[in-house]
Structure 1
Amino acid sequence: MSEIKLSARQLAIIEFVKINEPATGDQIARSLELTRATIRADLSILTMTGILDARPKVGYFYSGLDLNPTIYEDIRHLKVNEIMTTPVFVTKETSIHDAIVTLFLEDTGSLYVIETTDLIGIVSRKDLLKGALADTDKKATPIATIMTRMPNILTVTKTDSALYAAQQLVIHQIDSLPVMDDKKAIGKVSKTRLTQLFVDTFKNE
């Protein structure tokens, strides 16, 4: 069984939370003389592995549970291809109106824009909200006018770790990451999927 290896900074975060719970992210950052952005990935790992419990608008708590090394190692070695889901594809000619309808019908957080089979852009809920509020003809205006275009899209590959994907989602505050094979999106990793994964893992334990 592999030994759990937390960084010195992560151990310091745990000790601070133990003494000061509930501790906010800002309080933790100040205690370490760092910025909130610097420790965001550490907090993500500590909450996803069950060491800390994050409660919105309250702060972080120490879970009090002994971390199971086997579960930690299983999650740490989990690959993107084991957790990715199928994206919802649209074309750049799709109107903002039709994209909004598709988003809700498919119950997804983002739409992947393709040309032939290549990924050329992503449209998020936030993009569509901005597009809906703009003074334009929603049934005529294509989503190409509001999408985030390649190469300005963060991506992962199927061999990247699930924890790496989770860190990217947290650090960059985005809803999903395309899983790429050359120029083709073969899947996606979303915050919703990762949250469900960690909840199910520790609930079953």
Structure 2
Amino acid sequence: MTEIKLSARQLEIIEFVKANEPATGDQIAGSLNLTRATIRADLSILTMTGILDARPKVGYFYSGLDLNPTIYEDIRQLTVADIMTTPVFVTKETSIHDAIVTLFLEDTGSLYVVEATELIGIVSRKDLLKGALADTDKKATPIATIMTRMPNILTVTPADSALFAAQQLVIHQIDSLPVVEDKKAIGKVSKTRLVQLFVDTFKNE
């Protein structure tokens, strides 16, 4: 197996965090004279491989782990098809009221709006909150009025790598990605699923 090597920038990030933990993303970016967006993918790789530990509203810590090429290679070879889960589907005629009920009954972060099997939109918790606060009849107003429509939705395919999907979630700061094949919604990749994957991987190691 070919050993996976970190980039020079990723090594610099590790050294800065070691010396300054907890280090925020802005502090790390500033030390490299780069923007936070530029190093976002680097930080996602370093946290997903277990080298850095990210704590919300605190910063990044050095975990004490070195890069394990075997684990990294195992993760790198995973595809979206290996990790995707089943989304909750609704139609564009579904009312805002019924969508809110469905969201909480299914304990999910978003609803995928389909026409036949084709993905035409997504409704998130934020969308539904805005819809609930609007001065409209929630039982009569369809979610088509508040959903994010294609083609303004970031998607992945079953053949994309799991690491690529994780990077897209981090870079675009979204909670899930629809998995689409021939315009048909066949699954989703969520932050929750990816976190569980990496926790299980390192726990088993």
For the aligned pair, the TM-score class normalised by the smaller chain equals over 0.9
Give 1:157 deviation, angstroms.
0.5
Question: Which residue in 2 is equivalent to 1:170?
Answer: 170
- Per-residue CA deviations over 1:30-66 (Å, capped at 9, x if unaligned) read 0000111111111111101100011122111111023
Q: Distance in 2 between matches of 1:72 and 1:63?
A: 16
The DSSP-based 3-state class of the residue aligned with 2:166 is helix
- Per-residue CA deviations over 1:152-177 (Å, capped at 9, x if unaligned) read 00000001000100011111111111
- Per-residue CA deviations over 1:62-107 (Å, capped at 9, x if unaligned) read 1102332111100011100000000110000000000000001111
Stretch deviating more after TM superposition (2-11 or 118-127): 2-11
- Per-residue CA deviations over 1:118-175 (Å, capped at 9, x if unaligned) read 1100001111111111111111110000000000000000010001000111111111
Give 1:8 deviation, angstroms.
1.6
Q: Please, what is the CA RMSD of the aligned residues?
A: 0.8
The DSSP-based 3-state class of the residue aligned with 1:65 is coil
Stretch deviating more after TM superposition (36-45 or 92-101): 36-45
> Is 1:146 aligned to residue 162 of structure 2?
no
- Per-residue CA deviations over 1:164-198 (Å, capped at 9, x if unaligned) read 00011111111111111111011100011001111
Q: Distance in 1 between matches of 2:156 and 2:5?
A: 24
Q: Distance in 2 between matches of 1:70 and 1:35?
A: 31
Q: Distance in 2 between matches of 1:27 and 1:47?
A: 16
Stretch deviating more after TM superposition (89-98 or 127-136): 127-136
The DSSP-based 3-state class of the residue aligned with 1:3 is coil
Question: What is the number of equivalent residue pairs in this alignment?
Answer: 205
Q: Distance in 2 between matches of 1:107 and 1:29?
A: 36
Q: Distance in 2 between matches of 1:2 and 1:105?
A: 46
Q: Distance in 1 between matches of 2:2 and 2:36?
A: 30
Aligned-residue identity in percent = 91
TM-score (norm: length of structure 2): 0.98
Q: Distance in 1 between matches of 2:180 and 2:57?
A: 35
Give 1:12 deviation, angstroms.
1.0
Which runs of at least 4 in structure 1 moved beyond 3 Å after TM superposition? none
Name structure 2 gaps, 5 residues minimum: none
Q: Distance in 2 between matches of 1:186 and 1:109?
A: 17
Question: Which residue in 2 is equivalent to 1:181?
Answer: 181
Q: Distance in 1 between matches of 2:24 and 2:33?
A: 14
Q: Distance in 1 between matches of 2:173 and 2:23?
A: 21
Name structure 1 gaps, 5 residues minimum: none
